Structures are given as structure tokens and as C-alpha cells.
Structure 1
Amino acid sequence: MVFTDYVFYTLAAILLFAGLRVITTRNPVHAALFLVLAFFTASGIWLLLEAEFLGIALVLVYVGAVMVLFLFVVMMLDINVDKLREGFWEYLPMAGFIGILMVIEMAMVLSGKYFDASDAATKPLGYSNTAELGRVIYTEYLLPFELASVV
């Protein structure tokens, strides 16, 4: 295995741990901080995939703006966590059923019967994913991009 494989598996393990802690921690501030960790590790994976623009955009947009605002709101509001957990057992059977359906769907997709991943094509010399992203946005998706900028 190459060094980048080890880095990828380390970042993926940290990302899975942080994602799990986002949904299992009891303190909303800690959940938001674990989400920040998840965004940083996802950004690291983007950087490993040589998609530097997407990695930096993830950090700037989500960690730099959205999560700071989310942390501010969570810290300013006095959230009664015990009151939110009162209806937990009422919805547990439906949540378990939906979770089992999702596991079955993922098993079907990952079994290879419905999913055939071909080998990745090699990039031409001088290829830039940022330039390609700009080309696609400003040619194929110009109208939706302009509408999104107005909204």
C-alpha cells in the first residue's frame, strides 16, 4: 500500500468516528464540534483526490460560515435536551424499520449486482478540476447557476 492509502484510511476512520459522534453525543455543542471535525476530514479526503478547490470550499463555506453560525445559535439558545428526548421511544420502531431498509439497499448496491465501477480514466496533462468545474457551470448549467445567485 502507498502512503496516501494509509492517509485515506486514517481520514476515513476519523470521518466515520466524527459522524457517529455527531448523532450519538448528548451535548449539542459537542455535536457541532464533531461536525466541524467531520468537515475537516472530508476536506482532507477531497485534497487527497486532488480536488483542491472542493476541499478548500468545503472548509470555507461549511466550517467558516455555516458551522460558526450554527454554534452561535446553539450556544445562545437554552435547549432543554431532556424535553426533546421524551418522544424517543415512540418513534424507535419506525426509525428501526427505515434503518433496516437502508442497510438492505446499501447491501444491494455494494454487492456489485447493481453497481459496476469501471476503472477511472487517466487525467490529461495540465488538467485542472477547478477549470473543468468552471467550464461546466458556465456552459451547461449557466441558467440554474444564475437563478441560484439571485435566490
Structure 2
Amino acid sequence: MIQTIAFYLFAVFVIASAVMVITARNPVHSVLWLILAFFNAAGLMVLVGAEFIAMLLVIVYVGAVAVLFLFVVMMLDIDIAELRAGFIRNFPLGVAIALVLLAELVLGIGAYRAGEIVLGTPGVDAAPAVSASNTAAIGAVMFSQYLFLFEAAGVVLLIAMVGAIVLTHRAPKTVRGHQNIDRQVRRSPAEATVMRNPAVGEGVEL
């Protein structure tokens, strides 16, 4: 019974959060609703016994969304003072959402301890159930049969990260009067001093 209640609760909040992501006018609010949708989707994954996918949703997606939130604040000219002014106005809503998340967390833990939801009856040719969790099973398969593909994906992500750094790197602008230490160290004595022998009354040519 508790699994069914938790399923409908998480499903309703996932759909409602997804609608708010689309309809929110403020991009920061849209990202916050997206984080709420990810948390509820992780709760659905826990209910079906896929705790590995649930942790991926929380760690990878929510962590990436937090970085995206920082990029939105830095790249879009958002008035921080206006956001702080609206903090007190939206404080009751924030407390209500926090209480809902707390209730979902308690309900999800209780539903997980009660047992996962059986989605269907396995057939005759179904694979036998393993005693290990799906996290251990995925790790055993990933680092045995798909080890080369896993390492190749890591190399591709590393190349993408280095490429992004190279593309966004900008050479420092040369400021007038900037001291070039390397050029000063490498100069020869002939370049360091110039001897002038001006005629009397003619001055010095700069």
C-alpha cells in the first residue's frame, strides 16, 4: 500500500515540476523546478529497485544543474538585489516545498524498506535473480564485458573537457606599460644601453 501511495506522490510531483519548468518566466526558478523534478524522478527509481539510476539522477543531474544555475546567474544579467528582495516574499513557498521533500524522503525510505514494486510476472525464460544489488551487478558488467567502452567514454569526455577549455581560453591583453620580465632577462648588453654622442647645441634625438 505504501509503495502505491509513494508512486503516485512522486509521479504527480514529477509532472507538476516539469510543467513549472516550462511555464516559469524566471530562468532561475525554472532550474529550481527542474531540480525538484529530478529528485522526484530519483524517488520513482528507488521504488522500482533501481537505486543506481536514482543516485545518478541526484549526483550527476542535480550536480550538473547546480553548475548550470551558477552559469545562469553569471551569464544572464540577473539583478541579485531583486532576488534577495523576493526571498522574504517566497519564503513560505520555499518552506512548503522543503516540507514536501522531507515527507517524500521519509515516505520513499519507508516504501523502499517495504520492498520494491513488482512491475510484472517474469516468464519462464527470465534470467534468475541475483543476490547482489543492481549497483553491484552493473559494476560487475561494466568493468568486465564493457571495460573498453567505459574507458573510451572516459577518454572522449576528457577530450571534450580539454577542448572546451581551449575554445574558451583567451590570451591576456597587452597593457601599455606592462613589464615583460622574460624579455628583460633575455636581452643582451647591446640592447640594454645605447651610447649617444650628440654634437654641441644639437640636442638628443629620441
Higher relative contact order (CA 8 A, sep 6+): 2
Q: What are the equivalent positions in structure 2 for 1:1-151 lying under 5 Å apart?
A: 2-63=1-62, 65-78=63-76, 119-120=121-122, 124=129, 126-151=131-156
The code of the aligned residue for 1:144 comes to: L
Deviations along 1:13-61, whole A, 9 cap, x unmatched?
Answer: 1000111111111110010000000110011111111222221222111
Separation in 2 of the partners of 1:133 and 1:122? 15
- Equivalenced residue count is 113
| Long gaps (5+) in structure 1 | 81-116
Query: Which of structures 1 and 2 has the bigger CA Rg?
Result: 2
Shift of 1:139: 2.9
The code of the aligned residue for 1:8 comes to: F
Separation in 1 of the partners of 2:65 and 2:60? 9
Separation in 1 of the partners of 2:19 and 2:152? 36
Q: With structure 2 as the length reference, what TM-score do the two structures score?
A: 0.49
Separation in 1 of the partners of 2:127 and 2:7? 20
Separation in 1 of the partners of 2:25 and 2:140? 44
Separation in 2 of the partners of 1:20 and 1:149? 34
Q: With structure 1 as the length reference, what TM-score do the two structures score?
A: 0.66
SS of 2:139's partner is: helix
